Amino acid sequence: MQVTIFTANCIGQAANCSYPNRVTVSTPEQLREAVKADHVCAEYKGSYRGIGNFIRSDVIVMDIDNDHSEEPAEWITAEKLEKIFPDMEYMLASSRHHLLPKEGKSARPRYHIYFPISEITDAEVYGNLKKALQKEYPFFDGNALDAARFIFGADCEEVLVHDGWMTIDEEIDVSQVAEEEDFDSEDSESASGGQILEGSRNNTMSRFAGRVLKRYGITEKAHEAFLEHAKKCDPPLPESELKTIWNSAVKFFKKSIVNQEGYVPPDEYNADFESASLKPEDYSDIGQAKVLVREYGNELKYTSATDFLRFDGECWREDKQMAIGAVEEFLDLQLQDAMDEVARVEKALEDAGVPKESIQAGPKELLKEVDGKLIPLVYMLMGAQTYLKFVQKRRDYKYIVSAANTAKR
């Protein structure tokens, strides 16, 4: 068994798009060394990562973040994978967040699993195989399924090469992907798959920068949200261009937005949970659509004559793909909002003297331990975690389309 990956000359650089180093991996030692650098599992034209540049791949990589459950007994481990795929060839490497907290989730096992496959030369076929695999095994991350994903480098605590007599593409039926989609085929054809495509990258990133600056001010959190959103650009924008977009947005924010009549500074804006929150009144399509319209109504419109229109900063454009992109931007902000709410309540409990270990054990255990005066905070934690679970679920593409369609009404 062997696979081919392509490494970058850097580590932890989301804006990088150059992966010039071809590495053949067949042993645990080779795997451990190869994944120290940022890497991709496909060859691209000019070594420049992008779906349009896809040439070939002989390996599928999937993320295992174990965010499908809060019960440790249900988490996927290396031992469980050997039982799930007893006859399958694969390689396993722990990720950089292995046994560490991530995005509001407690520390837990996190891996990247590499499945050897027969060489694929079509990006769509490759992406469909990943989607079919995730449908068959939902514990794989559903947000990392396109043909241009990169993996952050890490010093792996755990690596494994599992020999078998089958490859994953021999087991998975790719044809089921199209059949199992339960949303409108027209919407499916117009989907960007989460990508910000060439021709709209600069305007999209500029608008997003303005939005996070209004919400968080000129802070590291705002900049991190901007860089996270930039990962969706296909092909990726160079780091220098992202820096220019960000600096221009900051300059405009200082000069114009702060001096606007009615502008509320982020500290005041975020002081009140309810007024600042992107949480819907109820966890339904209608509740979600109401918040979407409130936040994006000034740049997202629908008419029966044109379908969706989105304002690109200069004019209104009839472009369903851009409209879906607005929903995805909203969901990125909503995810951050939900994680912030969980973090705020956890900090309030910690400040009240509750041990961190008890907080991480969850609200049910906390109710058995805390003083009666802290019970309202425990229920607030329950509510914040429910909000976070809702947001994470709504990031599935069928719910993205559902929110957009409900917003039409």
pLDDT digits (tens, 9 = 90+) for 99-152: 888 877 888 999 999 999 989 998 888 988 998 888 888 888 887 788 888 999
Extract the residue ranges of the chain whose pLDDT is less than 50.
178-193, 269-275
User: What is d(CA 403, CA 394) in angstroms, rounded to the nearest whole number?
Assistant: 9
pLDDT at 38: 94
The predicted model scores a pTM of 0.51
User: In this structure, are residues 323 and 308 in contact, taking their beta carbons and an 8 Å threshold?
Assistant: yes
pLDDT digits (tens, 9 = 90+) for 223-276: 888 888 888 888 888 888 899 989 888 888 777 665 655 555 555 544 443 445
pLDDT at 265: 59
| 210 three-state secondary structure | helix
Strands 111-120 and 90-94: antiparallel
CB atoms under 10 Å from CB of 78, counted, come to 16
406, two tokens: 């409900």
User: In this structure, are residues 310 and 317 in contact, taking their beta carbons and an 8 Å threshold?
Assistant: yes
pLDDT at 409: 57
Peptide bond into 235 cis (omega under 30): yes
Sheet architecture: strand order including 316-318? 300-303, 307-311, 316-318
pLDDT at 264: 54
User: What is d(CA 259, CA 396) in angstroms, rounded to the nearest whole number?
Assistant: 38
When computed from its CA atoms, the radius of gyration of the chain, rounded to whole angstroms, is 22
pLDDT at 170: 81
pLDDT at 263: 53
- Token pair 């042993």: residue: 27
